[in-house]
Structure 1
Amino acid sequence: MLRRLSLAIAVAAASNAMAWAEQAPLSTKTDLVTVYQEAAANNADLAAARADYEARSEVVPQARAGLLPNLSAGANLSDTRTQVDSPSTTSSRSGTVYQANLSQPLFRADRWFQLQAAKASNEQAVLELSATEQNLILQSAEAYFAVLRAQDNLASTKAEEAAFKRQLDQANERFDVGLSDKTDVLEAQAGFDTARANRIIALRQVEDAFQALTTLTNRDFSALEGIEHSLPILAPTPNDAKVWVDTAAAQNLNLQASNYAVDAAEETLRQRKSGHAPTLDAVASYQKGDNDSLGFSNNAASVNRFSGDVEQRSIGLQLNIPLYSGGLTSSQVRESYQRLNQTEQLRESLRRQVVQNTRNLHRAVNTDVETVQARKQSIISNQSALEATEIGYQVGTRNIVDVLDAQRELYSSVRNYNNARYDYILNNLRLKQAAGTLSPDDLNALEQYLKSDYNPDEDFLPPDLAKAAEAQLRGNSQY
């Protein structure tokens, strides 16, 4: 009967309340925002993404350097000896030459387009980092609610195990007084053993979920604040798929990054085409050294004319007109054209995927709203079904297999209800991420529905159902 279900839940909750209190003091429970902050500070993937952004941002100053003056300086120390056989003559020259060279590009179309491509790539890197940071918000929520989901699942399997244990005890009692045969005992034992195995698996899943949270944040957590059943289950605002799709097309971070990727590819194509264009540089040089070192003299007369240190200065323009490079430039143009085509197709593919995800998630949230209510009602329906089945078993119209199946359906409906709640929360966040509007404020909005005294063994059921069960238990205490 329903009172037996209520008793099973009450016993399961009472048997675990003290152990939960010992394992998870209220002061050690962590909230959702804290988990996100720990992830933002310690997540290895985010740190790698930031390092990648810092590295990619250097392409701009590197490209700009090709348009700025290039100045070099150096020195040359030499000792040269020359010997002529006929007539026999030996001469030597030695000394040091100091030199400086300056080059200023005046017309370098390829380098200009390279700079524009670098700027577009930098903007792409900024948006991709922002997308990674935004994705961490979702990852934090997914890891957090995965723990809560696993804990609620464990609590329901504990209650289910307790209910099957009571059914086994009842089957043994009935067998002892001759009201049932051994088959009922074996069926009840099988049901209890299955429930016990499910509880062991559920316990492992809780530990796995905590481990995933540790991997994300590099922090160990002993307990988390749970989500209240009073969390409003509402349709997305606005409840218009087209509005969400339009928002995603304009604000989705990955889609915006793909736009800059196309811009960079277009500028790179222009850069390659500019390989056919002439280049013009202003050049200047300065040299200082002794006469021998600079090579002004070839005979004694010139030595007398140019003795001591000599300086050379030159300034001019250097024009270079590419004529033929073995087909290299043309090949690079063809390659860049195909890279541009590839980038445009990837952007279109991403756009379609974003539209699909946005529409799917919008439908998912609306479905979740109805599913949560339906799953909650199914708990009530399965409670009634279990009560009717147990009555039928008592009067001989149902067998124990029917009772065990009804119990499984009841606790399955409890797990389905909790899964629907968590799916609703996460699908809401995923919808906002697809639309490009997800921010830490969305976690702050969920924060107000977290319970610092959340106990999965007591709170895995909606409060109104739990209170109804307790009231019925008190009203039938003579049983």
Structure 2
Amino acid sequence: MLRKLSLALAVSCASNGMAWAAEAPLSTLTDLVSVYQEAVDNNADLAAARAQYGAQKEVVPQARAGLLPNLSAGADLNNTRTELDQPAMTATRSSTVYQATLSQPIFRADRWFQLQAAKSVNEQASLQLSATEQNLILQSAEAYFNVLRSQDNLASTKAEEAAFKRQLDQSNERFDVGLSDKTDVLQSQASYDTARANRIIAQRQVEDAFEALITLTNRQYNSIQGVVHTLPILPPAPNDAKAWVDTAAKQNLNLLASNYAVDAAEDTLRQRKAGHAPTLDAIAQYRKGDNDGLGFTNPSPTGQRYGGDAEQRTIGLQLSIPIYSGGLTSSQVRESYSQLTQTEQQREALRRQVVENTRNLHRAVNTDVEQVQARRQSIISNQSAVDATEIGYQVGTRNIVDVLDAQRQLYTSVRDYNNARYDYILDNLRLKQAAGTLSPEDLQALSRYLKPDYNPDKDFLPPDLAQAAAQQLRSRPAQ
């Protein structure tokens, strides 16, 4: 007689007879926080972002230098040969002059606004680096839970393969004793072959997910800790989309960085306009050398130069009034106006996108909460459907196709349940990132619900559902 195949039995078959890898020792299971720490220490994108910030923050001292004193020193060494035709004579004169010049800007409006723009650029770069660091938190979680998602998908696919293999064996037994025809065997064989192909694909997806984790952290992983099924599935707090949007408007790092980008563009425009303003510098110069080099003449009626050393000290103010530079300054002002408009519109576009993302993610989390509960119940419902269909098959009211479809729906519901769980976790983190509140503490909180001895082949299904399936199997007599 046909023996019924419950979900618990299929899981047992899959975990005992078709495990894709040996169960890893407890000490080799890596947790979420460790993966994130490895990413912080080894991620190439983060290292590049830090180096980029190190370069960008130098714009402030470079701009400040234009307002600070400028001291230079130098020397002139000359050898001059002079030849005269009338009267014919040749004279050679050598001169050596040492000089030092100190310049202190007094009024440089363009350089002042350049410094203000540089400070805004520095703040923008700092926030962009913080956004990259925050995004690494989400990237680490996505890579981590994608591994768990693929492992659970593989486990359920193996359980499905085991179920269809057992169904194929039972169809062969029934065919051998004349209780079914060849069609049942062929249908079972087709379902088993499809499940086997799906299991091969699922195996590759696990390896791909681990590869993404390795790329993120530059570390090798054999296995990671999984999420227990007792993880609380709760609506976002507060469960008010407007509150989340208001928080995002104040704390979203990319949006805050765009504010400084607008400030920098405004100061750059002021800098360009200041190109029409006069400039005033204080100049102090000291020169020492022989008299020929300095160009002094002997205070004699003949005006004859004389040799010897001399010193020259000069202190004064240098005023420069720009009058016309070929239209360069006016063109730069128009350019800055356009760039300011561009930056303002980019900020507005980003603000709208942040609002949209925040609202969408808020809805997504609430939907995920309902999805997890519904998918969990669908496993029980589909298990009951499998039992009822198998009974109908035995009494002749259902055919083998109905049985196979019911089993297929059962394992699909298992995969949908696990996908809903991981979507809930990641959408929560994405919502916090959109609001600008995502931090490593969120990963710490998730780590409390990780199972140190997690085995995907056994733990992909909630234990209470597996127990319910086993109890259901024991409560019904074998047919």
The TM-score range, normalised by the shorter chain, is over 0.9
Q: Matched residues in 1 for 2:354 and 2:20: separation?
A: 48
In the alignment, is residue 119 of structure 1 matched against residue 95 of structure 2? no
Name 2:432's counterpart in structure 1: 432
In the TM superposition, residue 2 of structure 1 has moved relative to its aligned partner by 5.8
In the TM superposition, residue 178 of structure 1 has moved relative to its aligned partner by 1.5
Q: Matched residues in 1 for 2:94 and 2:389: separation?
A: 113
Question: Do the aligned partners of residues 355 and 440 (structure 1) sit closer, same or farther apart at CA in structure 2, a change above 3 Å counting?
Answer: same
Name 1:10's counterpart in structure 2: 12
Name 1:323's counterpart in structure 2: 323
| Contact kept? 1:278, 1:322, Cα under 8 Å | yes
Deviates more, 1:466-475 or 1:43-52: 466-475
The alignment partner of 2:81 has SS state of strand
In the TM superposition, residue 16 of structure 1 has moved relative to its aligned partner by 5.0
| Contact kept? 2:5, 2:163, Cα under 8 Å | no
In the TM superposition, residue 295 of structure 1 has moved relative to its aligned partner by 2.5
In the TM superposition, residue 4 of structure 1 has moved relative to its aligned partner by 3.8
The alignment partner of 1:99 has SS state of strand
Name 1:150's counterpart in structure 2: 150
Q: Matched residues in 2 for 1:2 and 1:112: separation?
A: 83
Deviates more, 1:292-301 or 1:320-329: 292-301
Deviates more, 1:414-423 or 1:93-102: 93-102
Name 2:460's counterpart in structure 1: 460
Q: Matched residues in 2 for 1:302 and 1:311: separation?
A: 23
Gaps of 5+ in 1: none
| Contact kept? 1:3, 1:476, Cα under 8 Å | no
- Matching residue's letter, 1:337: Y
Q: Matched residues in 2 for 1:240 and 1:4: separation?
A: 42
Name 2:198's counterpart in structure 1: 198
- Matching residue's letter, 1:102: L
Q: Matched residues in 2 for 1:387 and 1:103: separation?
A: 93
Name 2:360's counterpart in structure 1: 360
The alignment partner of 1:317 has SS state of strand
In the TM superposition, residue 457 of structure 1 has moved relative to its aligned partner by 0.5
- Matching residue's letter, 1:10: S
In the TM superposition, residue 301 of structure 1 has moved relative to its aligned partner by 7.7
Q: How does 1:360-439 map to 2 (within 5 A)?
A: 360-439=360-439
The alignment partner of 2:224 has SS state of coil
Name 2:313's counterpart in structure 1: 313
In the TM superposition, residue 473 of structure 1 has moved relative to its aligned partner by 4.0
In the alignment, is residue 56 of structure 1 matched against residue 78 of structure 2? no
Question: Do the aligned partners of residues 364 and 302 (structure 1) sit closer, same or farther apart at CA in structure 2, a change above 3 Å counting?
Answer: farther
Paired-residue identity, %:
77
- Matching residue's letter, 1:357: N
| Contact kept? 1:3, 1:472, Cα under 8 Å | no
- Matching residue's letter, 1:318: Q
| Contact kept? 2:245, 2:359, Cα under 8 Å | yes
Q: Matched residues in 1 for 2:98 and 2:21: separation?
A: 84
Q: Matched residues in 2 for 1:428 and 1:223: separation?
A: 24
Q: Matched residues in 2 for 1:19 and 1:82: separation?
A: 94
- Matching residue's letter, 1:61: P
In the alignment, is residue 244 of structure 1 matched against residue 244 of structure 2? yes
Q: Matched residues in 1 for 2:19 and 2:158: separation?
A: 12
The alignment partner of 2:67 has SS state of coil
The alignment partner of 1:20 has SS state of coil
Name 1:20's counterpart in structure 2: 22
Q: Matched residues in 1 for 2:180 and 2:437: separation?
A: 62
| Contact kept? 2:383, 2:469, Cα under 8 Å | no
Name 2:165's counterpart in structure 1: 165
In the TM superposition, residue 6 of structure 1 has moved relative to its aligned partner by 2.9
- Matching residue's letter, 1:284: A
Q: Matched residues in 1 for 2:77 and 2:412: separation?
A: 89
- Matching residue's letter, 2:95: G
In the TM superposition, residue 298 of structure 1 has moved relative to its aligned partner by 8.6
Q: Matched residues in 2 for 1:263 and 1:391: separation?
A: 73
Name 2:255's counterpart in structure 1: 255
In the TM superposition, residue 470 of structure 1 has moved relative to its aligned partner by 2.8
The alignment partner of 2:340 has SS state of helix
Q: Matched residues in 1 for 2:463 and 2:248: separation?
A: 38
- Matching residue's letter, 1:290: D
Name 1:90's counterpart in structure 2: 90
Deviates more, 1:94-103 or 1:61-70: 94-103
Cα RMSD (Å) of the superposition? 1.8
The alignment partner of 1:347 has SS state of helix
Q: Matched residues in 2 for 1:202 and 1:312: separation?
A: 86
C-alpha offsets along residues 67-96 of structure 1, whole Å, 9 cap, x if unaligned? Answer: 011111001111111010111122121021
In the TM superposition, residue 109 of structure 1 has moved relative to its aligned partner by 0.3
Name 1:73's counterpart in structure 2: 73
Q: Matched residues in 1 for 2:342 and 2:74: separation?
A: 46
In the alignment, is residue 288 of structure 1 matched against residue 288 of structure 2? yes
